[in-house]
Amino acid sequence: NAGVMQNPRHLVRRRGQEARLRCSPMKGHSHVYWYRQLPEEGLKFMVYLQKENIIDESGMPKERFSAEFPKEGPSILRIQQVVRGDSAAYFCASSEQGAGNEQFFGPGTRLTVL
């Protein structure tokens, strides 16, 4: 039973380019969460999605960031026109349901903006 998969594991982009981070939840999980971790800091919630729906995007920056979780395929976190401050580790987690179920985290994507 594969865990949460994220790819790529490492991503290097130049300022102004787009970054696409993918997350495949555990089998049977329909809830996906994205978190961002800056160096030496804890994880910060970004967005919570169910299939085809954004449930809570209170942690998403207002511009350049978007997320989706289509009916088929992985969840995508998209960052347009990246800046150096976007350099961080981005973690995806999934859960079977919302309440009462722990979240299982993927290994993360480490984004470096040059």
Partner 1 sequence: DAKTTQPNSMESNEEEPVHLPCNHSTISGTDYIHWYRQLPSQGPEYVIHGLTSNVNNRMASLAIAEDRKSSTLILHRATLRDAAVYYCILRSTTSGTYKYIFGTGTRLKVLA
- Return the residue of 19, 88, 108, 111 that touches partner 1, per CB under 8 A: 108
- Return the residue of 8, 16, 51, 56 that touches partner 1, per CB under 8 A: 56
User: How far is it, in rounded angstroms, from Cα 12 to Cα 1?
Assistant: 30
User: How far is it, in rounded angstroms, from Cα 60 to Cα 27?
Assistant: 26
Q: Is residue 2 within the footprint of partner 1 (CB under 8 A)? A: no
| Dihedral sign computed on CA atoms, order 61, 65, 71, 74 | negative
CB of 91 to partner 1, least distance (A): 5
CA distances to 26, 62, 75, 100 from 3, rounded to whole Å, are: 5, 30, 15, 19
- Return the residue of 24, 75, 94, 103 that touches partner 1, per CB under 8 A: 103
* Stretch of 14-22, 69-77, 78-86, 105-113 lying at the interface with partner 1 (CB under 8 A): 105-113
